[in-house]
Chain A
């Protein structure tokens, strides 16, 4: 990619971030306060995409955003998309429909009846698979999915998420040979919200302090 294309894509991506921030606010998906995450860790913000399934037009637009990231940062040729259940599977489905790419998914538990397997869908040795999930925190569930797909012969080099929570996921995935791509990052969403007057700066600062603390730990 030449310099100009890189610059244009960076600009396009910042427009995407802004649009995503607007969609998320509309869905009530960005919450600020004192939350306990599923990992047990406390967080001053929470991303709740529970209302997304109720708004097909928002889901469609978000799927387009993933496809734009795929096109510009990964390339769409000869690719399969893998959904990470539970929340990543509907998104991966919407992406696969939009880009007309084959979909597979990783089971949360191996099938106990019928045939025992961890991967659902057509996966052959040597297939290139891109992982799709909604959010990444430390990258644990993406790494687990990559392991299962690799064990079945698939090649995994990229993962695409909607929002990077910037808690080490990118670095952890890189160590496993997987590049993380995100439509947006929590720090970018914060900046947009703050500049649009949708978030008091003291709350934004709390989240920034939290993210810096994560970086040090």
Chain B
């Protein structure tokens, strides 16, 4: 694990964002661990450090792109922070949830043919990211990369790769828990 990943792991652990217990996840799955990063923007210094790491990953490893697309309100703070750091346009795509209306799936705009990078806090099964990718593509933008803070290693990487999307993460749950090495 890199020094940066170790530092991120300690921030997330110290702020109580990795919870142990029996939690119901989306789609009726349950898990022993619950990763909740929604409180991260409540700690300005930590939030700055984490979003700076995201901005670095995007500018050094993802190549030229036109727009960041955050998934739902949960990803809005991350997306806005990185947008301001890199001075790149952003949009927020609504999450696929039964209670949302889809009259307007987007906050902001997308332009035809532009390269959009999906951004979310956590990747689990990848279903949420895959839904968002199909909305963004239907609106005319290109999607080949998704970036998350934490990859839970629950299949998102594989699902997204079948859609031609490469998943990048700052850290995996197993790294945070002090387990196996991050997969490349």
Contact = CB atoms under 8 A, between A and B. Distances in A.
B130 interface: no
B39 A120 contact: yes
A89 interface: yes
Given A113-B26, A114-B25, A122 B39 contact: yes
Nearest first, the 10 closest Cβ-Cβ pairs linking A and B are: A53-B108, A122-B42, A103-B41, A120-B38, A121-B42, A93-B80, A54-B89, A102-B42, A93-B77, A100-B44
A96 B84 CA distance: 12
B133 interface: no
A9 to B, nearest CB: 26
A90 interface: yes
Interface residues of A, number: 37
Contacts of A115: 34, 36
Interface of A: 50-57, 59-60, 80, 83, 85-87, 89-90, 93-94, 96-97, 100-105, 107-109, 113-115, 120-123
Contacts of B39: 120-122
A112 B107 CA distance: 23
Interface residues of B, number: 37
A50 B92 contact: no
Contacts of B42: 80, 102-104, 121-123
B23 interface: yes
B170 to A, nearest CB: 19
A92 to B, nearest CB: 8
Interface in B43-81: 43-45, 47-48, 67, 73-74, 76-77, 79-81
Contact of B44 (A87, A90, A102): A102
Given A94-B80, A102-B44, A114 B92 contact: no
Most chain B CB within a 10 A radius of its CB, from A53, A56, A123: A53
A108 B39 CA distance: 16
A113 B88 CA distance: 33
Contact of B80 (A50, A85, A90, A113): A90
